[in-house]
Amino acid sequence: MIEISTSILTVEKGKEADVFFALEKSKTDYFHIDVMDGKFVEKDTYQKMLEYSSYIKRISNLPMDVHLMVEDIETGIEVFSAVEPNIITFHLEACKNKEEVMKNIRAIKEKGSRVGIAIKPNTKIEEVYEYLPYIHMCLIMTVEPGLGGQTLITDMLEKISTLKTHIEKHNLEIDIQVDGGVNLKTAQRVKDAGANILVAGTAILMASDYKVIIDELKDFEK
């Protein structure tokens, strides 16, 4: 079953209430909260994402999917677990060693959220294999993290299918999320490759009717 997680990274201040209510009405499956610390990636969205996610927590029961693009993952987990997200995802590249990865996995579980590990385009998919038995989702970045509105890197399609094959071979129950440049042109290819949770920001937020785009990305029967 395909799920859509709408990235709220580019939602303008002052418009957030209208956008979040409209997204809830459009039945997005998740709100995707892009947390950036200005160190792991250039932009700093920490405060804005904290305000937005706190607001969403107050007005909606729809689940949040927090994507930590931060160096200090421990603090990110602490701060954003306050909004009780369904999923907290951290970047493998921000961890110094296996002990730190396992510590982050445990910390997220102790907060009651599902665990995601994200990998950047240049990180080999094999590097996440040893953690798969302990997590719920693998986020394959289909753009360099840090910005919305980029073009999907099509080399990542093979990475998605390689992961899907590995998951099936080892009977693992793992969601495959793709994030970056997902739109009506690229959605079918990432789904065919094996992704089942699609993050989209620009493709949805630029539409006049969010529900039309969300349903098309899910490929509902017309």
Query: Which residues are marked as active site?
Result: 34, 179
Q: Nearest to residue 200, comparing CAs of 22, 21, 23, 1?
A: 23
Question: Can residue 76 be called a binding residue for ligand DX5 (CB under 6 A)?
Answer: no
Binds 76: which of ligand DX5, Zn ion, none (CB < 5-8 Å by kind) = none
Binding flags for Zn ion, 52-71, as an x/- string (CB under 5 A): ---------------x----
How many binding residues for ligand DX5 (CB under 6 A)?
22
Question: Can residue 7 be called a binding residue for ligand DX5 (CB under 6 A)?
Answer: yes
Member of 76, 116, 194, 201 binding ligand DX5 (CB under 6 A): 201
Question: Can residue 9 be called a binding residue for ligand DX5 (CB under 6 A)?
Answer: yes
| Residue 216 to residue 198: CA distance in whole angstroms | 12
Member of 179, 195, 213, 214 binding ligand DX5 (CB under 6 A): 179
Cβ 83 vs Cβ 111: under 8 Å: no
Question: Can residue 91 be called a binding residue for ligand DX5 (CB under 6 A)?
Answer: no
Cβ 73 vs Cβ 104: under 8 Å: yes
| Residue 158 to residue 24: CA distance in whole angstroms | 33
The residue number with the shortest CB distance to Zn ion is 67
Binds 182: which of ligand DX5, Zn ion, none (CB < 5-8 Å by kind) = ligand DX5
221 Rama sector, left if φ>0, alpha if ψ -120 to 50, beta otherwise: beta
Nearer to ligand DX5, 99 or 181 (CB): 181
Binding window for ligand DX5 (CB under 6 A); candidates: 45-53, 155-163, 185-193, 198-206: 198-206
Question: Can residue 60 be called a binding residue for ligand DX5 (CB under 6 A)?
Answer: no
Q: CB neighbours of 74 closer than 8 A, spacing ≥ 6?
A: 103, 104, 107
Q: How many residues does the chain have?
A: 222
| Residue 181 to residue 143: CA distance in whole angstroms | 7
The amino acid occupying position 69 is M
CB atoms within 10 A of CB 61: 7
Cβ 65 vs Cβ 30: under 8 Å: yes
Binds 148: which of Zn ion, ligand DX5, none (CB < 5-8 Å by kind) = ligand DX5
Binding window for ligand DX5 (CB under 6 A); candidates: 81-89, 106-114, 170-178, 201-209: 201-209
Question: Can residue 85 be called a binding residue for ligand DX5 (CB under 6 A)?
Answer: no
Question: Can residue 123 be called a binding residue for ligand DX5 (CB under 6 A)?
Answer: no
Dihedral pair phi/psi, residue 39, rounded to 5°: -120, -55
Residues that bind Zn ion (CB under 5 A): 34, 67, 179
